Amino acid sequence: MNTEKDFSPLTPNIVRALNDKLYEKRKVAALEIEKLVREFVAQNSSAQIRHVIQILATEFALSQHPHSRKGGLIGLAACSIALGKDSGLYLKELIDPVLTCFNDSDSRLRYYACEALYNIVKVARGAVLPHFNVLFDGLSKLAADPDPNVKSGSELLDRLLKDIVTESNKFDLVAFVPLLRERIYSNNQYARQFIISWIHVLESVPDINLLDYLPEFLDGLFQILGDSSKEIRRMCEVVLGEFLKEIKKNPSSVKFAEMANILVIHSNDLIQLTSMTWMREFIQLAGRVVLPYSSGILTAVLPCLSYDDRKKNTKEAASACNHSLMKLVTPEDDEDDEESQTKSSPPGDGTPSKKEGDLNDGGPIRSYLRISTGSLIYSVLCSSDRSAVTLDLDGIVQVLDRHLHDSSTGMMTRIAVLKWLYHLYIKTPRKMFKHTDSLFPMLLKTLSDESDEVILKDLEVLAEIASSPAGQTDTSGSCDSSDSKTELYIPGGVRDGQPVTDLSPSTPSMNSYFYKFMINLLKRFSLERKLLEMRGAFIIRQLCLLLHAENIFHSMADILLKEEDLKFASTMVQTLNTILLTSAELFQLRNQLKDLRTQESCALFCCLYRSWCHNPVATVSLCFLTQNYRHAYDLIQKFGDLEVTVDFLMEVDKLVQLIESPIFTYLRLQLLDVEHNPYLIKALYGLLMLLPQSQAFQLLSHRLSCVPNPALMRTVEDPKAPVKDKRLAQPYIDYSELLQHFDRVQSKHLEVRHQRAGRSEHPDRKL
């Protein structure tokens, strides 16, 4: 530095001492400057004061010489001390050169800068608040300083500044929030610690309402919550906990819509529990305000439902979120936009309701938030009008469908997805049926799931689709798919050129998806024989509980009548027959068939019979169930013309076992009335003659040996009655036509078996 330069009013001795390398000499110079400035204050000479500060700043603090910079810093601090309460008039000139030295490469100089600024701030107190942002910016950099002395000095200054902010009621929060939003994304742990400490302080000041600006930096807080340092995470959890308490106390002033979108993007294991806890509170406090964000919330919540006990708390919080969100969907969400606007408009107003985006006179207030989770990106529209909340149904269905398609989705998540679909079909059927064609294939595929509980929920959804009145009204569009050509018509009309009378009027009407469902279910059983074998009976029994059992059997019988794969048709009939005869769910249907006294029951019997003809033994068992004993005997007489295989004999064996079961108790009791049931006894003897000498043979033979002598059973009052089968007088059934139909079906089966046998004998022959 040029010592010959004029630095007046600073004396040459002061200038030399400020440039000295020894701290003690610079301190002496600072005392002289303090004395000089006090004199100028007494003289009210602000021009001289500014001149001294300018010299110390430009010629010393910003000098190229390190000792000169140190002298300038201590000199500026001395000026501030001398000015006292008047230092506020010169704070910009005092602070700026000191903050510049915060970036100096010399750690000692950075420390002296901290010391100088501490003295300046200590004197000025509340007067420094207009300069808070620059002070905060400088301190945030020093918080990550590698030198421990500098860091220690910055912490002293930081505590002083916090005390000043806490004591004052003039803190400019609006000006500070943009800086906070910028600095909160720092990756340095010390800087993060510094940021968190300041948020905690500001949040605790009664006069500072930081909650209003929480959406501005909430995302940054959650990022800090995922820090690897336990101490930083603990500090962040404390701050977030305080904010959540405030939110619960003052929910009316919280900007839920702006923050809901932030929560769903944080799926890191370290922060997931906190985000789920916040989301749970948001849904419970904000209610329908969060509905536009449902797709994003479900994207975050659904995977958590399959967590194991290691993440039990997160799973429970996610489950609470899911349950609360589901409750927000109401039948009003099924209304069209025009309907909802009409309802929201006051009667007699005459003015059209404002559309979204025209809610404020100054123009639309909209902000587009993007949620990025995995491969999905959702654009969610936030509106300032909380009353005009609409359900993001398309987004929800997209998320649910994605989780169903994902093979890695956990069982509890799949169950939750199916519960959501069922809930949406119940609450918003009209809108949901627009998505049915896209959902239907995956719902059918889910029937192959490994979990019985998943299959049960899936069947509930399919049953609701098949029986909902909303599906009945949709006669165009959704049902005119590629499967419409094979869609089952309502039984009736003409079959094989003959009028069909086997429509059951007692069957409740189903929508077009019911028949589509039955067709596709049978197709799936045909393609996946293991599914039919392992879960077929379970699925059909559950459907009989969810839908009308008569509908299920009537429609399946009609579909199987057109089945080209005769082997599958026989297997399917055998499965349906076993269910019909043994399942408790079919008790009412069995009673309906047991007494063919009405046209409806006769029509059902004829419909089942035509398909049951694919399996001769099942046909006989159906005749036993309906007490058509003469017809059963006529059928057994035809068994001599059929190919008797091991499988055939096994089916007869099973039928004998069924005859001994509680289902056929009435049949066994009818053996007491020999005179009126001769064809029952003949039919049973026919089965006995078909069986080889086996356990079933012994069982049936023993039963028939118990049949009493007719003469012993005849009472005095009863005249000798002629032999008569009570089914012969049934006017609604043409038994001869049914026998002809049985012959035609069995001829087809025989032809197919011969073709297969020919292919097996000549494997190289081209068909």
pLDDT tens figures, 178-203: 999 999 999 999 999 999 999 999 99
d(CA 403, CA 336): 27
The total of other beta-carbon atoms located within 10 Å of residue 440's CB is 20
- Of 436, 638, 458, nearest to 538 by C-alpha is 458
Q: What is the pLDDT of residues 329-343, one digit of tens each?
A: 999 998 875 555 555
Secondary structure class of 8 (helix, strand, coil) = coil
- Of 520, 574, 571, 580, nearest to 550 by C-alpha is 580
Mean pLDDT of 660-665: 92
Q: How confident is the model at residue 597 (pLDDT cuts 50, 70, 90)?
A: confident
Which one-letter amino acid corresponds to residue 431?
K
Secondary structure class of 379 (helix, strand, coil) = strand
Angle, helices 587-594 vs 566-582, to 10°: value is 100
Mean pLDDT of 35-45: 94
Q: Is the dihedral of CA 35, 39, 44, 47 positive or negative?
A: negative
Domain ranges of the chain: 1-167, 548-709+730-760
Alpha carbon 476 to chain centroid, angstroms? 30
- How are beta strands 366-373 and 498-500 bridged, if at all? unpaired
Q: How confident is the model at residue 469 (pLDDT cuts 50, 70, 90)?
A: confident
Yes or no: say if 539 and 455 are a contact pair by the CB < 8 Å rule. Answer: yes
Which residue has 């035809």 as its token pair?
638
Two tokens at 720? Answer: 């000798």
Yes or no: say if 726 and 676 are a contact pair by the CB < 8 Å rule. Answer: yes
Two tokens at 384? Answer: 């300032």
Q: How confident is the model at residue 326 (pLDDT cuts 50, 70, 90)?
A: very high
Does position 361 have pLDDT exceeding 80, yes or no? no
Secondary structure class of 495 (helix, strand, coil) = strand
Yes or no: say if 305 and 322 are a contact pair by the CB < 8 Å rule. Answer: yes
Q: What is the pLDDT of residues 499-540, one digit of tens each?
A: 333 443 334 457 888 999 999 999 999 999 999 999 999 999
Two tokens at 202? Answer: 């500001």
Alpha-carbon distances of 738 from 82, 553, 608, 630, 632, rounded to whole Å: 119, 18, 11, 13, 11
Q: What is the pLDDT of residues 231-240, one digit of tens each?
A: 999 999 999 9
Q: What is the third-level CATH fold of 1-167?
A: Leucine-rich Repeat Variant (1.25.10)
Q: What is the CA radius of gyration of the chain?
A: 44
User: What phi, psi does 313 have (nearest 5°)?
Assistant: -65, -40
Q: Which residues contact 447 (CB under 8 A, 6 or more apart)?
A: 455, 458, 459, 521, 524, 531, 535, 539
Alpha-carbon distances of 10 from 23, 453, 479, rounded to whole Å: 19, 89, 95
Yes or no: say if 648 and 642 are a contact pair by the CB < 8 Å rule. Answer: yes
- How are beta strands 376-383 and 366-373 bridged, if at all? antiparallel
Does position 366 have pLDDT exceeding 80, yes or no? no
- pTM for the structure as a whole: 0.78
d(CA 764, CA 605): 44
The alpha helices in 355-504, defined as continuous H runs, are: 393-405, 411-427, 429-432, 436-445, 452-467, 469-473
Residues shown for the chain: 767
Mean pLDDT of 733-746: 88
Mean pLDDT of 250-256: 89
pLDDT score, position 46? 93
Which one-letter amino acid corresponds to residue 537?
A
Secondary structure class of 591 (helix, strand, coil) = helix
- Please report, rounded to a whole number, the percentage of residues in the chain having pLDDT higher than 70: 83
Q: How confident is the model at residue 393 (pLDDT cuts 50, 70, 90)?
A: very high
Q: What is the pLDDT of residues 678-722, one digit of tens each?
A: 999 999 999 999 999 899 999 999 999 998 887 665 655 555 544
- Of 210, 205, 185, nearest to 195 by C-alpha is 185
pLDDT score, position 267? 67
d(CA 436, CA 143): 58
Q: Is the peptide bond before 719 cis (omega within 30 degrees of 0)?
A: no
Mean pLDDT of 278-298: 92
Q: How confident is the model at residue 301 (pLDDT cuts 50, 70, 90)?
A: very high
Name the DSSP letter for residue 435.
S
